[in-house]
Amino acid sequence: MVMGAIDHKQAMPMLSHVLLKINDNQLFVTGTDLEIELVGQSVLPNKQADVAVTLPARKLMDICKALPDFAPIELYQERDRVIVKSERSRFVISMMSADDFPNTELSAENVIFSIKQKELSYLLRRTTFAMAQQDVRYYLNGTLFEIGNGQLKMVATDGHRLALNQTRISISPTQQAQVIVPYKGVMELIRLLTKESDQVVTVHVGQRHIRVLSHDFAFTSKLVEGRFPDYQRVIPKMGDKVITIDRDVLRQALTRTAVLSNEKARGVRFELENNLLQLFSNNPEQEAAEEAVDIDYHGTQFDIGFNVNYLLDTLQVIEPGLVRLVLIDTNHSMRIEEPNNKNSLFVVMPMRM
């Protein structure tokens, strides 16, 4: 559970270790890279003395994985070594002082709310695909958590596409926060959350940290300093060209057309006329693909280009069924909506072809 927080580059030797701590017969296993911290916990079967020790995370993990399933494991400390025993296996590994293990200092908390694991996971999975990863605009390398008016909004953008999803949460009207959770923190949180679980997690939002607590883990992440761009300005509010089409039909047509698109630009051109969408792509080898799709569209003839990967990424997270594409002109982004879902919207910028 905590391996994702381990610093595998080993900038500091201690960051390649996990902290094993026993307190009141509970085992706490902690990993951190100073940006995020993960704590897994479990109740031990027998009464044990309180103790704390740090061990090399990867070596301990590999030992546990190599042992038979459900094999009992015993650990003994001998000076600066720890002996790991399991039935007829015995390992001697080095340790470091638990006193030197970094302790995350939490900032003052502004907002606390509870949400089901599956609901938080759903919001993250439908939003975080639009994040930037290594953009010089560091504030885009994460996901915005905007809390206020009884709602949790998540927004992510890389400057070319945007995803926005929201849900109602139980907080007082005065509680407000707007924080950016970094890319690595968001991806670890998605990995930890159970997609189908009704179990509730508690989210603590501070000035410099966000913490998510469940019955078996505690996740803490530093926040990205900086101000997220005014995303409302880039969401097209109007649009007289409205296309309605089945999500899977559009996704399959785009997938076929993309086969012969330019590998770098990944452009696909849309040509619209009454109840018909034609898709075109080509590449420097003079190869081309063309696809015709029946749609619900009543408007002027129109053509516009998009990066097909951005469209496919968006359609991947949208629920099966009808999808609505709203366009203004070739200079404005396309808004993508689900007709029966007012809590989500997606935006993709056009490209010149």
Arithmetic mean of pLDDT, 128-150: 95
Residue 178: phi and psi, rounded to 5, are -140, 105
55 to 6, 21, 75: CA distances (angstroms): 12, 11, 11
DSSP state letters, 243-309:
EEEEHHHHHHHHHHHHTTS-TTT-EEEEEEETTEEEEEEE-TTS-EEEEEEE-B--S--EEEEEEHH
pLDDT in tens, 180-193: 999 999 999 999 99
The residue to which tokens 């027998």 are assigned: 46
pLDDT in tens, 281-291: 999 999 999 99
**pLDDT on residue 11:** 73
Helix, strand and coil in the chain, % to nearest 5: 20, 45, 35
How far apart are the C-alpha atoms of 353 and 333, rounded to whole Å? 15
pLDDT in tens, 39-61: 999 999 888 889 999 999 999 99
Confidence of residue 74 (pLDDT cuts 50, 70, 90): very high
Sheet of 276-282: strands edge to edge? Answer: 288-294, 276-282, 267-273, 302-307
**pLDDT on residue 213:** 96
How far apart are the C-alpha atoms of 74 and 88, rounded to whole Å? 12
Dihedral class, residue 191 (left if φ above 0, else alpha if ψ from -120 to 50, else beta)? alpha
DSSP state letters, 14-82:
GGGEEEEEEETTEEEEEEE-SSEEEEEEEE-SS----EEEEEEHHHHHHHHHHSPTT---EEEEETTEE
- Mean of the per-residue pLDDT values for the chain? 94
Is 235's pLDDT higher than 80? yes
**pLDDT on residue 9:** 73
pLDDT in tens, 90-127: 999 999 999 999 988 877 788 999 999 999 999 999 99
Strands 241-246 and 267-273: unpaired
How far apart are the C-alpha atoms of 226 and 242, rounded to whole Å? 36
3-state SS, residue 33: coil
**pLDDT on residue 325:** 97
134 in Cβ contact with 145 (< 8 Å): no
How far is C-alpha 154 from the geometric centre of its chain's CA atoms? 11
Is 226's pLDDT higher than 80? yes
Q: How many CB atoms lie within 10 A of CB 264?
A: 8
**pLDDT on residue 198:** 94
**pLDDT on residue 175:** 86
Arithmetic mean of pLDDT, 272-276: 95
**pLDDT on residue 109:** 81
**pLDDT on residue 52:** 93
How far apart are the C-alpha atoms of 43 and 41, rounded to whole Å? 7
Show the tokens assigned to 236. Answer: 């097209």
**pLDDT on residue 30:** 97
Is 229's pLDDT higher than 70? yes
The residue to which tokens 């997609």 are assigned: 195
**pLDDT on residue 79:** 86
pLDDT in tens, 252-272: 999 999 999 999 999 999 999
pLDDT in tens, 146-177: 999 999 999 999 999 999 999 999 998 788 99
Residue 332, judged by CB atoms within 10 A of its CB (0-12, 13-18, 19+), counts as: middle
Is 10's pLDDT higher than 70? no
**pLDDT on residue 238:** 86
Q: For residue 139, which amino acid is it?
A: Y
Domains and CATH numbers, the chain: 3-100 (3.10.150.10), 109-233 (3.10.150.10), 235-348 (3.10.150.10)
